[in-house]
Structure 1
Amino acid sequence: MQKWFITCIIICLYASVFAQQHDPVSIRRQLVVALKSSETTDSLYKSLNAVKNKPALVTGYIATLQALKAVHAWNPFTKLKYLNKAEDTYRQAVAADPDNIEIRFMRFSVEHNVPGFLGFNKNLDADRKAIINQLKKKNYTASDHEMILTVVKFLIDSKRCTAAENEYLNKLLASLK
């Protein structure tokens, strides 16, 4: 009986840790660390890749991690290989959930930061417009408040928005604070 009880506790703890690791807020925190840590990038990539029946958002996170693998790679050919994989994976994620602000934002931020001469900036305008459209529709939850603040600030700082879009984003930013 005691072995069964201990086994149940271990399974519950593992399930709890697994659920916490795959919760969007936790993943977002790990992605911030992954920006500077190839170990975190690899660990989170492996963890998310093991998820069965991946939702579109998890696919988007995987694409972001593929792009981060490009950042951490030293070989230029390896960098391009990871960027090509990321582009394909983002395409899948957007196709599965085209109105998801977070997926669009991840792709936008990667394309914004990749040098333009590499040609990985084909979706900047479409993603910017889709994000702003979803912001106007308030297509996000209250639990996404911090993420929405990040998205709005990034769009403003990117200098890729029109004057009218910047005006809207600045008003939205003031209302979110």
Structure 2
Amino acid sequence: MNEKEARKKYFEAIGNERKIERLLKQLQEIENPSALLLAYCAACESMMAQFSWNPYTKLAQVNKSFDLFKEAIKEDSQNTEIRFLRFSVQHNVPDFLRKNREFEEDKTVLVENFDKADFDTEFRTFLIGYLKDSGRFEKSELEVLG
């Protein structure tokens, strides 16, 4: 599976436990995944937490997700898509878990590198809409995004 396939499958699977679980399994089977594929694996781990009824399982999956994000960002710290994925997970994780400490760091990378990212028009439009709707960006930051 390449990165564009992972992106397509991920966004098609949002909200669907079976699809996320299947994608997570496929991503986990990849030997030596790229930093971006590792980030998609992290995002899937976090998403699986929403389907678990056990709070300990939820927390374990969120923690695993953030460990994987840390590894992906260590490998490719300026990758806009990785930063977006972590930003979106942080945006949806409850504040009491204290997993949203990298918002400013991710926002900075997103704003500084967005125009250099290799996104098709549809995905770029989706990202801009998501970031605007998040309510976590200043107007001046959003203007830079497009």
- Please give the TM-score of this superposition, normalised by the length of structure 2: 0.92
Q: Does 1:76 align with 2:55?
A: yes
Q: Which residue of 2 aligns with 1:122?
A: 101
What's the Cα RMSD here? 1.4
How many aligned residue pairs are there?
Answer: 146
Structure 2 residue runs of 5 or longer lacking an equivalent are: none
Q: Which residue of 1 aligns with 2:43?
A: 64
Question: C-alpha separation between the residues in 2 aligned to 1:70 and 1:34?
Answer: 14
More RCO (CA 8 Å, sep 6+): 2
Q: Which residue of 1 aligns with 2:11?
A: 32
Q: Which residue of 1 aligns with 2:117?
A: 140
Contact 2:9 2:23 in 1 (8 A): yes
- CA deviations over 1:91-120 (Å, ceiling 9, x no partner): 000110111111100000010011112111
* Dislocated runs of 4+, deviation >3 Å: none
Q: Which amino acid counterpart does residue 123 of structure 2 have in structure 1?
A: M
Q: Which residue of 2 aligns with 1:156?
A: 132
Q: Does 1:94 align with 2:73?
A: yes
Cα distance, 1:130 vs structure 2: 0.6
Identity %, equivalent residues: 33
Question: C-alpha separation between the residues in 2 aligned to 1:55 and 1:97?
Answer: 9
Question: C-alpha separation between the residues in 1 aligned to 2:97 and 2:65?
Answer: 14
Structure 1 residue runs of 5 or longer lacking an equivalent are: 1-21, 173-177
Higher helix share: 1
Question: C-alpha separation between the residues in 2 aligned to 1:101 and 1:121?
Answer: 17
Question: C-alpha separation between the residues in 2 aligned to 1:60 and 1:157?
Answer: 22
> What SS is found at the alignment partner of 1:54?
coil
Contact 1:34 1:68 in 2 (8 A): no
Q: Does 1:113 align with 2:64?
A: no
Question: C-alpha separation between the residues in 1 aligned to 2:8 and 2:116?
Answer: 22
- Please give the TM-score of this superposition, normalised by the length of structure 1: 0.77
Question: C-alpha separation between the residues in 1 aligned to 2:6 and 2:110?
Answer: 20
Q: 1:140 to 1:166 in 2, by over 3 A?
A: closer
Question: C-alpha separation between the residues in 2 aligned to 1:36 and 1:168?
Answer: 30
Contact 2:93 2:99 in 1 (8 A): yes
Rg comparison, structure with higher value: 1
